[in-house]
Chain A
Amino acid sequence: MKILKKNQLDTLWERLARNAELYLPTQKGDQSGFFSYKTLKPEKDTLMLDALNVYLSPKNIVLPQTEMMYSFTHQGQEINLEEVYEDPTPRIIFGLRSCDVKSIDRLDTVFFTRGFVDEYYRSRRENTLLILNACYHPGPNCFCEAMGLSPRESESADIILHDAGEEGYIWVANTEKGRELTGNIEDILEEKEISYPQPRPFTREVDYTGVAEKLKDMFSHPIWHPLSDPCINCGICTYVCPNCYCFDIQVKTRGEEGYRYRCWDSCMYGEYTMMAGGHNPRETGMERFRNRFLHKLEFFTERYGEPLCTGCGRCIAVCPTGINIIEIMEKAKGVEPSA
Chain B
Amino acid sequence: MKDMTDQVKEIATKLLESGQVDVFMAWEKGDAPHQSKPFFARNVADVEKIIFDEYCIHNLSTYLTRFRDGKEKIAIVVKGCDSRGVVRMLEDHQMKRDRLHIIGINCPGMKDPLEAMKQHSGFERETGEKGLAIKCLQCMQPNPVIYDESLGEIQEPHFKGERFTEVKALEAMSSEERYQFFSEVLSTCIRCYACRQVCVACNCRTCIFDEAKPQWVGRETSVGDNFMYHIVRAFHMAGRCIECGECERVCPVNIPLMLINRKLIKDVDHYFGPYDAGMAYVEGGKPPLSLYKIDDPDDFI
Of the 9-residue stretches A157-165, A188-196, A267-275, A289-297, which lies at the interface with chain B?
A: A267-275
Given A30-B253, A52-B121, CB of A321 within 8 Å of CB of B210: no
Q: Which residues of B contact A (CB under 8 A)?
A: 30-32, 35-40, 58, 62-63, 66, 113-114, 117-118, 120-125, 188, 190-194, 196-198, 210, 212, 215, 218-222, 246, 249-250, 252-254
- Indicate if the CB atoms of A239 and B121 lie closer than 8 Å: no
- Indicate if the CB atoms of B37 and A322 lie closer than 8 Å: yes
Instruction: Return A244 CB to nearest CB of chain B, in Å.
Output: 12
What would be 13 A-B contacts, judged by CB atoms less than 8 Å apart? A30-B188, A51-B125, A52-B121, A137-B122, A140-B32, A229-B39, A230-B37, A234-B198, A236-B194, A236-B250, A240-B252, A266-B192, A285-B66
Q: Which residues of A contact B (CB under 8 A)?
A: 27, 29-32, 46, 48, 51-56, 65-66, 137, 139-142, 226, 229-230, 232-236, 238-240, 248, 250, 252, 261, 263, 266, 269-271, 274, 285, 313-314, 316-324, 326-327
Instruction: Return B195 CB to nearest CB of chain A, in Å.
Output: 8
Interface secondary structure of B, over-half rule: loop
In the complex, what residues of A have CB within 8 A of residue B120's CB? 140
Given A52-B121, A318-B118, A324-B31, CB of A230 within 8 Å of CB of B252: no
- Indicate if the CB atoms of B219 and A320 lie closer than 8 Å: no
- Indicate if the CB atoms of A322 and B212 lie closer than 8 Å: no
Q: How far is the CA of A271 from the CA of B215 in the complex (A)?
A: 12
Which one of A66, A142, A236, A314 lies within 8 Å of B221 (CB-CB)? A66
Closest B residue to A25 by CB, please name it: B123
In the complex, what residues of B have CB within 8 A of residue A142's CB? 122
- Indicate if the CB atoms of A53 and B190 lie closer than 8 Å: no
- Indicate if the CB atoms of A226 and B40 lie closer than 8 Å: yes
Closest A residue to B246 by CB, please name it: A320
- Indicate if the CB atoms of B192 and A52 lie closer than 8 Å: no
- Indicate if the CB atoms of B192 and A233 lie closer than 8 Å: no
Closest B residue to A64 by CB, please name it: B221
In the complex, what residues of B have CB within 8 A of residue A252's CB? 218, 220
In the complex, what residues of A have CB within 8 A of residue B191's CB? 235
- Indicate if the CB atoms of A52 and B123 lie closer than 8 Å: yes
Which one of A137, A140, A320, A326 lies within 8 Å of B114 (CB-CB)? A320
Which one of B122, B197, B250 lies within 8 Å of A139 (CB-CB)? B122
Q: How far is the CA of A66 from the CA of B224 in the complex (A)?
A: 13
Given A48-B125, A66-B222, CB of A234 within 8 Å of CB of B197: yes
Q: How far is the CA of A267 from the CA of B253 in the complex (A)?
A: 20
In the complex, what residues of A have CB within 8 A of residue B113's CB? 322
Given A232-B194, A239-B192, A317-B118, CB of A270 within 8 Å of CB of B123: no
Closest B residue to A237 by CB, please name it: B192
In the complex, what residues of B have CB within 8 A of residue A274's CB? 210, 212
In the complex, what residues of A have CB within 8 A of residue B218's CB? 250, 252
